[in-house]
């Protein structure tokens, strides 16, 4: 497993398993989360993660917070890369 795959796996597991209850409330039971790719800027010390959230069933749009996935990705990535700025791009699928 490459370093990139390990990073993706840690973030995927953090969001999909550890924060599963919160994510299910926001994005519906059976949601899926995947880190699609990331890019970095060494000069500016920034990592950009592009993630895909596949919405689950029975979504209550009044309760849905589009920023919770962003927050959890940043939280997980900051533990791995404490000295870098973390940016995210979340894409939605249904």
CA 21, 55, 70, 83 torsion-angle sign: positive
What's the domain range around 81? 3-93
Q: What is the pLDDT of residues 23-48, one digit of tens each?
A: 988 888 899 999 999 998 888 899 99
pLDDT at 88: 94
For the chain, report the end-to-end CA distance as a whole number of angstroms.
29
CATH code: domain of residue 44: 3.30.300
Task: Give pTM, 2 decimals.
Answer: 0.85
User: What total number of domains does the chain contain?
Assistant: 1
């Amino acid at each position: 497993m490459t370093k990139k795959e390990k990073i993706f796996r840690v973030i995927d597991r953090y969001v999909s398993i550890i924060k599963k209850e919160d994510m299910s409330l926001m994005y519906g039971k059976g949601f899926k989360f995947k880190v699609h790719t990331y890019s970095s800027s060494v000069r500016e010390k920034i990592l950009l993660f592009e993630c895909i959230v596949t919405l689950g069933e029975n979504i209550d749009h009044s309760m849905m917070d589009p920023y919770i996935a962003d927050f959890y990705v940043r939280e997980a990535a900051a533990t791995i890369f404490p000295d870098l700025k973390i940016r995210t791009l979340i894409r939605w699928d249904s």
